[in-house]
Amino acid sequence: MAVKVAVPRETRPGERRVALAPAALRQFEKLGVELLMQKGAGLESGFDDADYKGVTLVDSEEELLGQADVVLKVQPPTEKEVGMMREGTVVLGYMAPHEGDSRIKELCKRQITSLSMELVPRISRAQSIDALSSQGAISGYKAVLIAAERSPRFFPMLTTAAGTIRPSKVLVIGAGVAGLQAIATARRLGAQVSAYDVRSATAEQVESLGAKFVDTGVKAEGEGGYARELTAEEKKKQAEVLADYIAASHAVITTAAIPGRPAPKIIDKATVERMGRGAVIVDLAAETGGNCELTQAGKEVDHNGVLIVGPKNVPSSVAIHASEMYSRNLCNLLTLLIKDGELHLNWDDQVIADSCLTHGGEVKHGPTRERLEGEKS
């Protein structure tokens, strides 16, 4: 019998993406799996049930999850959803391994194998599975559009009969996947772009996109291509150099993150007070505490005429393409789990082993296991 792959409707408020987009159907079909979906699961993303040709539509979530071998999710499965799954079900999606301990314990209790998109290793072979990248790129793009829309200025230089308009100065802080896409988007809009990151390797990437790299003299390459947390002295040095750039910017996009840690605070209140009226900060790190001291997640704060926007779940606002890219990421991961039409988890495969959060009643991800064990003692 073909492996049954089920896609429930996302229930978290504000989540507009779906784990299966019609554009990815052909790719899933090639795997020889049977696709099942809860009725209306694609509506919020802009897809009608009729767009899902060949997919079996199921009325209730309980009926759907109760027969699934594999479940595809965007947001982590809730305890209620986990309770509806059969023992041994494999769930692919964001698992938020750094939080939601009771949910993770429930996954163990129910013997669910969960593969977490946050834990997919950042190696070249896994690039097509990397949802942090696909969704990060969307956030970077959209952050610039939010900044341009909220700014009382043009981004491009304009020469008109009513005079010449100088281009907006945009600063991007954090030049990872989201930051690089923000730079490219701001450049396409004609802004004058500068960017900064603690990883010096990003300087070349920033410059290749036509932006100026701000060198603060602080370098903080960490493990696995990520940044490490800065020392107090490094933070002070970084803040001093950056403050002048921030103060002179018309729009600042911040994307700085350290995996599993609260977002580094890079823009303090005093620096915001040096910015001109009408300046905009779009803080993509809002949900993990914000890169700016004044950011409030899900809100816009006006501080003396400077607008600080802290959007939540930005990829959801580009739901069609975000769902398409995310479904392809999931399909590429599922491809590694299916051999001769059957589920086969090869634990010698680094992508599968590293991505696994829970399996066989145990937490497989070291840091999450240590945190949960720490709670017991």
> Which stretches of the chain bind ligand NAD, using CB under 6 A?
122-124, 126-127, 130, 132-133, 136, 173-179, 196-199, 225-227, 230, 255-259, 264, 266
Rounded least distance, CB 179 to ligand NAD, Å:
6
The whole-angstrom separation of Cα 281 and Cα 292 is 8
C-alpha torsion angle, residues 45, 182, 72, 17 (rounded to 10): -20
Rounded least distance, CB 125 to ligand NAD, Å:
8
Amino acid, res. 116:
S
Nearer to ligand NAD by Cβ, of 89 and 291: the residue is 291
Nearer to ligand NAD by Cβ, of 166 and 269: the residue is 269
The whole-angstrom separation of Cα 186 and Cα 195 is 11
Rounded least distance, CB 205 to ligand NAD, Å:
8
Q: Do the Cβ atoms of 190 and 157 come closer than 8 Å?
A: yes
The whole-angstrom separation of Cα 185 and Cα 193 is 10
* Tokens describing residue 153: 């200025």
Residue 130 appears among annotated catalytic residues: yes
Q: Measure Cα distances from 243 to 93, 157, 200, 239, 358 in Å.
A: 38, 25, 19, 6, 44
Rounded least distance, CB 45 to ligand NAD, Å:
23
Residue 133 appears among annotated catalytic residues: yes
Nearer to ligand NAD by Cβ, of 155 and 196: the residue is 196
Query: Please, is 172 exposed, middle or buried when counting C-beta atoms within 10 Å of its C-beta (0-12, 13-18, 19+)?
Result: buried
Beta strands in the chain (DSSP E): 4-7, 34-38, 56-58, 70-72, 90-93, 113-116, 158-160, 163-165, 169-173, 192-196, 212-213, 251-254, 280-283, 300-303, 306-309, 338-339, 342-343, 356-359, 362-363
Nearer to ligand NAD by Cβ, of 27 and 128: the residue is 128
Rounded least distance, CB 344 to ligand NAD, Å:
24
The whole-angstrom separation of Cα 302 and Cα 17 is 30
Beta bridge partners of residue 306, listed in sequence order: 303
Positive or negative: CA dihedral 147, 261, 134, 321 = negative
Rounded least distance, CB 196 to ligand NAD, Å:
6
* Tokens describing residue 294: 């004044």
Q: How far apart are the first and last CA of the chain?
A: 45
Q: Which residue is nearest to ligand NAD (CB)?
A: 176
Nearer to ligand NAD by Cβ, of 67 and 128: the residue is 128
Query: Please, is 236 exposed, middle or buried when counting C-beta atoms within 10 Å of its C-beta (0-12, 13-18, 19+)?
Result: exposed
Query: Please, is 289 exposed, middle or buried when counting C-beta atoms within 10 Å of its C-beta (0-12, 13-18, 19+)?
Result: middle
Per the residue annotation, which of 9, 67, 226, 268 is the catalytic one? 226
Rounded least distance, CB 30 to ligand NAD, Å:
23
Residue in this structure with the two tokens 């309980």, named with its chain if needed: 62
Residue 226 appears among annotated catalytic residues: yes
Which residues, at least 6 apart from 329, have a Cβ–Cβ distance to it below 8 Å?
A: 117, 128, 129, 130, 131, 134
Per the residue annotation, which of 38, 75, 116, 133 is the catalytic one? 133
Rounded least distance, CB 216 to ligand NAD, Å:
8
Nearer to ligand NAD by Cβ, of 243 and 372: the residue is 243
Residues assigned a catalytic role = 122, 127, 130, 133, 226
